[in-house]
Amino acid sequence: MSRMDQAYALLEAECRDRGVDLDAACRRLAALEVETPSWGYGDSGTRFKVFRQRGVPRNPFEKIDDAAVVHRLTGACPSVAIHIPWDKVDDYRALADHARNQGLRIGAVNPNLFQDDDYMLGSLTNVQPEIRRKAIRHMLECVDIMREVDSSVLSLWVPDGTNYPGQGDIRRRKRWLEEALREVYAALEPGMRLLIEYKFFEPAFYHTDLADWGMAYLAAEKLGPQAQVLVDTGHHPQGTNVEHIVALLLDEGRLGGFHFNSRKYADDDLIVGAIHPYELFLIFCQILEAEQSDDERVASTARSIAYMIDQSHAIEPKIPAMIRSVCNIQTQFAKALLVPWHLLRERQEANDVLGAEAVLREAFEMDVRPMLYRLREEKGLPADPIKAFYESGYEEKISERGFGGSGW
Ligand code: PSV
Ligand code: MN
Ligand code: MN
């Protein structure tokens, strides 16, 4: 028996003692799909500097090539999100075909309401009607692109806000936003979803029109069932209990998706799971518990979550950083799969404070590497995807692209 098989057998025995079916957990892990963002493959940075790296994609087609490499090595990333106009092309069907030929599909389409000069004082909430119209037109164009690339997710982040008290009329802006979203929502086809993201500050510093989950939830609730909330893990004030937000949105059937990344201070967009792995684990605990809910609405909401990475690499080598994020997600997801829910419930009902806490913590403390190795072996994937990337020669190959590819 190999060392890994022995480790798997040990983990299996430990799981059996805790009433957890390890093979079932492995099957669920194998089905986990995580979308990677096209902008994570290009050069991006901070407001101080964008450092150019050799070999980054020069166009959206090459971003897809890099996303395909991540999928080939991890087996977990069959879709890639695009951002318009960063990924503007003449022929979106050709872009979708290019993805398909490499075993990928185009996932979420992200409109960009923050880089046009006209949007300096707001896009969908601008006091000037013609600028609001321009922003709405851009979003409708994104719905057309969704049709062409066969995407079902329109992922919206509204950067609008003000820097000073009195600069804008908060209530008028709220109504303009609602009006705009109603028009966009009406253009969605059945099966398409509008995922509404929120962020508490930046680029605006005094007030942001969609600042938190409650505002995004309210907007979604007013629009209808095809609108849901998107939780970007980096978009909350320090100390926010993100898993609580996740639980609440799940219970209301309004959790649509995630943008995973890590933050230490603000919207840092670092490698997923690099800073607060326990938080990521606890988020997955809420989701996996909800997947088994007797309430079919809650269970199906949990099963339909769009798991996406939203990372932007200033100093990291792009492809290995993306693979690291995917592996970290798989690790925390695997740990959450090892929670014995019956035992947790038992201890909660007995008001066993420490015992209940221990059930979660002990799952987090388990070494799930045998699960990950088993999964990769069964799918014919390399045991160490990052090592395999460096050995593949792909880095040398793309260095021929030279410098100058931009994520933004
Ligand atoms: C905004 O900070 C954000 O998280 C949104 O999701 C954007 O689409 C993404 O970053 C890329 O700018
Ligand atoms: Mn985001
Ligand atoms: Mn962000």
The domain limits of the chain are 33-333
Of 109, 114, 158, 259, the residue with max ligand 1 atoms within 8 A of its CB, to mutate for a pocket test, comes to 259
Q: Which atom of ligand 1 is nearest to the CA of 267?
A: 2
Span from the CA of 59 to the centroid of ligand 1 (angstroms): 19
Domain spanning 33-333 has what CATH number?
A: 3.20.20.150
Pairing state between β 306-309 and 255-260: parallel
- Annotate 259-283 with b (16+ C-beta within 10 A) or e (fewer): bbbbbeeebbbbbbbbbebebbbbb
- Residues β-bridged to residue 118: none
> Cα(270) to centroid of ligand 2, in Å?
12
DSSP output for 5-19: HHHHHHHHHHHHHTT
Nearest CA, atom 7, ligand 1: 157
- Ligand 1 pocket mutation, candidates 310, 313, 408, criterion most atoms within 8 A of CB: 310
Residue 67 in 3-state DSSP?
helix
Indicate which residue's Cα is closest to atom 11 of ligand 1. 310
Q: Three-state DSSP class for 142? A: helix
d(CA 138, CA 125): 14
Residues 284 and 307 sit within 8 Å (Cβ to Cβ): no
Q: What is the pLDDT of residue 179?
A: 98
Q: Which residues are close to ligand 3, an ion, with C-beta < 5 A? A: 267
Strand partners, 309: 260
Residue 238 CB neighbour total at 10 angstroms: 8
Distance 218 CA to ligand 3 centre (A): 20
Q: Which ligand 1 atom lies nearest to the CA of residue 408?
A: 12
> In the beta sheet, which residues pair with residue 79?
105
Bond from prior residue into 317 cis (ω within 30 degrees of 0): no
272 CA to centre of ligand 3 in angstroms: 13
Q: Is the pTM of this model over 0.95?
A: yes
Q: Give CA–CA dist 284/42, Å, rounded.
A: 29
Measured in Å, residue 354 CA sits from the centre of ligand 2 at 35
E strand residue ranges, 112-180: 153-157, 161-162
Residue 1: predicted pLDDT: 82
Tens of each residue's pLDDT in the chain, 408 residues: 888 899 999 999 999 999 999 999 999 999 999 999 999 999 998 889 999 999 999 999 999 999 999 999 999 999 999 999 999 999 999 999 999 999 999 999 999 999 999 999 999 999 999 999 999 999 999 999 999 999 999 999 999 999 999 999 999 999 999 999 999 999 999 999 999 999 999 999 999 999 999 999 999 999 999 999 999 999 999 999 999 999 999 999 999 999 999 999 999 999 999 999 999 999 999 999 999 999 999 999 999 999 999 999 899 999 999 999 999 999 999 999 999 999 999 999 999 999 999 999 999 999 999 999 999 999 999 999 999 999 999 999 999 999 976 666
Atom of ligand 1 nearest to the CA of 197: 6
What residues are in contact with ligand 1 under a 6 Å CB criterion?
Answer: 39, 110, 157, 197, 199, 232, 259, 267, 310
Q: How far is CA 19 from CA 14, 346, 377, in A?
A: 9, 13, 25
- In DSSP terms, which residues pair with 83 in a beta bridge? 110
| Cα distances (angstroms) measured from residue 354 to each of 53, 332, 358, 361 | 49, 22, 6, 10
In this prediction, residue 406 carries a pLDDT of 67
360/260 Cα distance (integer angstroms): 21
Nearest CA to ligand 1 atom 3: 157
User: How far, in Å, CA of 211 to CA of 199, rounded?
Assistant: 5
- Cα 401 to ligand 3 centroid, rounded to whole Å: 28
104 close to 80: Cβ distance less than 8 angstroms: yes
At 408 the pLDDT is 64
Q: How far apart are CA 106 and CA 197, in angstroms?
A: 19
